[in-house]
């Protein structure tokens, strides 16, 4: 893939669907009708054409379109597209070890099934990907929005051309090429009380390809953002949720049993709070929780969250091109670095309290407790648990493109690497903390800040701060392709394209010695040696014993594409491809598409094809190891207790998170897909353009893990999903959730992508109005082979959710040096999962402790405004407001990931009304 030497009709009008309310292909074609047409290559085809519309649905966002969205990153930009659903946003890092990853998913098919390209070539997967396949895609933070000339989004499966990972479609970022001059852009964004951004970029280009025979371009960008605290948003500030539904008042309590001061288990196995018993109420950052016979102070971890993390990014993009005859020799280098700091509540966990000890006699014996027990403690005096993640990305592309006679060709070598390192602070070693508690130096039953001076000093001495985990993913690729006309028919030329690629992948998992559980003293780095009395320590709060590994694989692929003009106005295109992987075998894919234009104002197009998605290297090769804890806390039901007893383990007391285990699966098969599209575009007048594309995709042997909430609701049905994990701080063996990679079954999704555009000049200026929307018809999947089908379409019961409707309506008025854009963004409502809550009377007393409600999230509409002033030919200023009405996300009780409650950060942006200002000077 490469960009043309000049802006052509095709390059500006591939798609009828444009973001930001600008003109569609018809209008652009009118503006470009006098330009010289060149044969250029587009995403989704290896054949260069002069046609303004192809057989496949491709939307194009030019630099001007991107600016009008107000998006300051590629993450924000793609999340605004109606066709994009299901990817990981930046707020997804809250409460999880994501290393700051953000991905893109077309049509909710999945970010690992959406191929991301840079100037037409593949990029390495994320170095911080997990062994279960999360983040086994490209991290969008690696591509700076300042370097993008345009984005092409193919919304149809394209495995027959690109190979693996393109089942959902392709996103191709095209960077600046043949740029002369220089420009500086600076900007700020200011939401209320946090998440403030400032940014700057500079671009410079030297030489003209046509006259000088060379061009060198450089773009540097820097941006940084402050944190946004949960307490800065009323809907995100607490886990103790009071709400009304159906004329009744309810309460939903989201807390942790590990609190400050600590809760304990009494002789009857009940979780109680010594502080509550003594004082009659719970302290700050906690609230009283009664669950059956448990009565304790639950820690309000939600109130401590930072729901948008601190971030700094730097990027440098350099492109050099030299023209030699009919050949362009090029070298592109992209280097980027993202630093993200995310903070969550202080570390929780259990510490033993021995009968007869000073702590036991002071706090527990007076309560009638006679046996050894466990204190569930929040180590508030160590401060937040902090993840400081650094993700470096390097991409080098060297090659040549041009012509040999009538043959167009390109040949490229690329080296791409994602290197991720994660540092932590706020975590002690479990054994070290247990010993301090047993010695009496640390008192888990006092409030935060009330440790003795010696106790606080001892705590500080065992707090670990440093490298925890990371990884590196590397991809080396040699890619070649060529196309030429091979015959002439009455309706036109028959064009053939052939190509090949060779890929070499490598993944390295790099946990620290502490993360591997190989240190006796994490602070000093002393190795453990049980034979010498140096016990192996682990991180307090979760059983973390990761296993480092390195895995490699090679793959190669060959493809061919032919375009045949059957009769005037009807073209057929066929693609076939074969890929071979060293670790799981081969895959053959094919595609047939057509383009029919019976009149100049009507286009009918469609395609059918097959695809595949190879498992990631870690998904196949990783060893069984700890994989953190469950997203949500769970109460031990009778069924869970039955599973625990059968494994000679204990349930977690109260309502707590459970340890998770996971591993690679060498028997994992590649996902296979079938897909189809059928659409039309009509332009009844020069001012109006309407388009509609139906799409369908079916996948078998889908990768995944069983949804934790589903498994915890019916643990006996999923008996193979359980194991055990020993807590070295207490010596207790607890039930653990085993979340292995599996081929779960089938997945089906279908929908409609539609748009309508009006564009006309009036006396006061040029008006453009465009509606762009996606309507999902079906989203069904299985959790297991031949199992029941579930749907997440407008329904969050399964722990994921797809909007039935998603879209935007943008209106632009251009008047001389001024341009004003008003946009509306909309998402349909959906049903939340059924949730057990407490029903309260007018006095706030619980009248039904096990009431069940199912909320409906209302449809969500926000408005954006932007005004641009082109001061002169070299200076412009643009300012605007995102979420003009400061509309809060809908209230829900369940989320699709992360620790936030009350709203879903994966589906809605918590920043609220955001003012922004950007200024550009060109030289």
H or E element: which one contains 712? helix 708-713
The pairing of strands 263-265 and 348-353 is unpaired
Between β-strands 169-175 and 114-118, what pairing exists: parallel, antiparallel or unpaired?
parallel
With 80 as the cut, is the pLDDT of residue 189 above it? yes
Superfamily grouping for domain 9-231+308-343+389-421+490-507+552-618+670-705+744-922: TonB-dependent receptor, beta-barrel domain (2.40.170.20)
Q: How far is CA 11 from the centre of its chain?
A: 29
Contact 581, 551 (CB under 8 A): no
- Cα first-last separation, the chain: 30
A 10 A CB-CB count for 186 gives 14
Q: What CA–CA distance (Å, rounded) separates 126 from 864? A: 32
Provide DSSP, 171-183. EEEEE--S--EEE
- Does 6 score more than 60 pLDDT? no
796 φ/ψ sector (left φ>0, alpha ψ -120 to 50, else beta): alpha
Encoding tokens for residue 192?
């209320």
- The whole-number pLDDT of residue 52 equals 54
Structure pTM?
0.90
**DSSP class of residue 194?**
B
Q: What is the pLDDT of residues 38-88, one digit of tens each?
A: 344 556 655 544 345 678 898 888 888 888 888 989 999 999 999 999 998
- Cα 190–chain centre separation: 23
DSSP 333-388: EEEEEEEEEEEESPPEEEEEE-TTSHHIIIIIGGGT--S-EEEEEE-GGG--EEEE
Q: Which residues pair with 693 in a beta bridge?
A: 679, 753
- For residue 9, pLDDT beyond 80: no
Least confident of 555-559, 561-565, 796-800: 796-800
The Cα 366–Cα 495 span in angstroms is: 89
Read off the pLDDT band of 105 (50, 70, 90).
very high
In 10 A of CB 862, how many CB atoms? 21
Write the pLDDT tens digit of every residue in 604-617: 999 999 999 999 99
- Whether omega before 304 lies within 30 degrees of 0, making that bond cis, reads no
Mean pLDDT value across residues 190-214 = 95
Q: What is the mean pLDDT of the chain?
A: 90
Tokens linked to 213:
């025979």
Distance CA 862, CA 207 (A): 44
- The more confidently predicted of residues 758 and 585 is 758
pLDDT of residue 41: 54
Measured between alpha carbons, how far is residue 152 from residues 18, 174, 223 in Å?
10, 8, 24
pLDDT digits (tens, 9 = 90+) for 152-183: 999 999 999 999 999 999 999 999 888 899 99
Q: Please answer whether residues 465 and 428 qualify as being in contact, where contact means their C-beta atoms are separated by less than 8 angstroms.
A: no
């Amino acid at each position: 893939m490469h960009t043309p030497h000049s802006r052509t009709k095709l390059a500006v009008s591939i798609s009828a669907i444009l973001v930001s309310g600008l003109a569609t292909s018809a209008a652009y074609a009118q503006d470009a009708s006098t330009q010289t047409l060149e044969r250029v290559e587009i995403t989704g085809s290896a054949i260069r054409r002069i046609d303004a519309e192809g057989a496949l649905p491709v939307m194009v966002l030019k630099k001007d379109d991107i600016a009008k969205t107000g998006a300051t990153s590629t993450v924000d930009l793609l999340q605004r597209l109606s066709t994009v659903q299901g990817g990981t946003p930046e707020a997804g890092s809250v409460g999880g070890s994501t290393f700051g990853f953000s991905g893109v998913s077309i049509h909710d098919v999945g970010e690992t099934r959406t191929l991301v390209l840079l100037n037409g070539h593949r990029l390495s997967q994320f170095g911080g990907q997990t062994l279960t396949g999360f983040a086994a895609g490209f991290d969008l933070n690696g591509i700076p929005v300042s370097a993008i000339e345009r984005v092409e989004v193919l919304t149809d499966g394209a495995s027959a051309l690109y190979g693996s990972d393109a089942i959902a479609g392709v996103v191709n970022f095209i960077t600046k090429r043949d740029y002369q001059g220089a420009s500086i852009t600076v900007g700020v964004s200011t939401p209320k009380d946090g998440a403030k951004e400032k940014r700057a970029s500079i671009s410079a280009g030297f030489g003209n390809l046509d006259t000088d025979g060379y061009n060198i371009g450089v773009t540097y960008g820097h941006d940084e953002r402050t944190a946004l605290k949960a307490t800065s948003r009323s809907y995100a500030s607490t886990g103790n949720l009071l709400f009304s539904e159906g004329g009744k008042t309810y309460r939903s309590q989201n807390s942790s049993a590990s609190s400050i001061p600590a809760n304990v288990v009494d002789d009857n196995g009940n979780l109680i709070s010594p502080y509550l018993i003594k004082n009659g109420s719970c302290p700050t950052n906690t609230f009283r929780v009664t669950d059956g016979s448990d009565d304790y102070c639950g820690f309000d971890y939600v109130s401590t969250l930072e729901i948008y993390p601190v971030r700094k990014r730097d990027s440098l993009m350099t492109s050099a091109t030299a023209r030699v005859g009919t050949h362009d020799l090029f070298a592109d280098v992209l280097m980027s670095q993202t630093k993200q700091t995310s903070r969550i509540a202080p570390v929780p966990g259990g510490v033993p309290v021995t009968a007869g000890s000073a702590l036991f006699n002071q706090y527990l014996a007076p309560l009638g407790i006679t046996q050894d027990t466990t204190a569930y403690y929040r180590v508030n005096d160590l401060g937040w648990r902090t993840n400081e993640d650094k993700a470096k990305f390097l991409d080098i592309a060297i090659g040549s493109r041009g012509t040999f006679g009538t043959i167009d060709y390109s040949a490229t070598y690329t080296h791409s690497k994602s290197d991720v390192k994660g540092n932590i602070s706020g975590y002690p070693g479990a054994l070290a903390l247990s010993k301090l508690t047993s010695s009496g130096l640390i008192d888990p039953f006092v409030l935060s800040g009330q440790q003795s001076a010696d106790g606080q000093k001892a705590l500080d001495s065992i707090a670990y701060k440093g490298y925890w985990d990371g990884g590196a993913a590397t991809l080396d690729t040699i890619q070649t392709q060529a196309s030429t006309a091979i015959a002439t028919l009455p309706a036109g030329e028959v064009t053939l394209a052939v190509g090949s690629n060779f890929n070499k992948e490598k993944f390295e998992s790099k946990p620290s010695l502490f993360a591997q559980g190989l240190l006796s003293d994490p602070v000093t780095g002393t190795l453990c040696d049980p034979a010498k009395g140096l016990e192996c320590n682990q991180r307090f709060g979760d059983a973390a014993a990761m296993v480092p590994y390195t895995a490699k694989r090679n793959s190669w692929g060959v493809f061919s594409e032919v375009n045949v003009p059957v009769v005037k106005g009807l073209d057929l295109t066929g693609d076939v491809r074969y890929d071979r992987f060293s670790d799981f075998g081969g895959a053959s894919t094919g595609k047939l598409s057509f383009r029919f234009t019976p009149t100049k104002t009507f286009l009918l197009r469609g395609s059918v094809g097959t695809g595949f998605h190879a498992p990631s290297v870690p998904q196949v090769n990783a060893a069984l190891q700890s994989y953190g804890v469950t997203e949500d806390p769970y109460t031990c039901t009778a069924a869970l207790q039955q599973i625990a007893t059968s494994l000679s383990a204990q349930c977690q007391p109260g309502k707590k998170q459970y340890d998770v285990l996971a591993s690679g699966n060498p028997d994992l098969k590649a996902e296979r897909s079938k897909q189809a599209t059928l659409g039309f575009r009509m332009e009844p007048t020069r001012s109006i353009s309407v388009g509609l594309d139906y799409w369908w995709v079916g996948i078998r042997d889908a990768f995944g893990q069983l949804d934790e909430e589903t498994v915890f609701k019916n643990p006996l049905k999923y008996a193979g999903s359980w194991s055990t994990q020993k807590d070295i701080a207490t010596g207790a063996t607890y039930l653990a959730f085993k979340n292995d990679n599996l081929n779960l079954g089938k997945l089906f999704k279908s929908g409609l992508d539609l748009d309508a555009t009006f564009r006309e000049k009036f006396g006061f200026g040029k008006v453009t109005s465009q509606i762009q929307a996606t309507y999902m018809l079906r989203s069904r999947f299985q959790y297991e082979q031949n199992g029941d089908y579930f749907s997440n379409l407008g329904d969050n019961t399964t722990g994921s959710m797809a909007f039935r409707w998603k879209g935007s309506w943008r209106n632009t008025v251009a008047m001389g040096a001024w341009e004003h854009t008003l946009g509306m963004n909309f998402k349909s409502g959906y049903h939340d999962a059924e949730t057990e809550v407490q029903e309260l009377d007018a006095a706030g007393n619980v009248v039904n402790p096990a009431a069940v409600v199912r909320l409906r999230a209302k449809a969500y509409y926000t408005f954006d405004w932007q005004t641009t002033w082109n001061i002169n030919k070299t200076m412009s200023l643009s300012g605007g407001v995102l979420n003009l009405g400061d509309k809060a996300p809908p209230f829900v009780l369940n989320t699709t990931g992360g620790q936030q409650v009350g709203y879903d950060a994966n589906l809605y942006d918590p920043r609220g009304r955001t003012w922004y200002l950007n200024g550009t000077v060109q030289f």
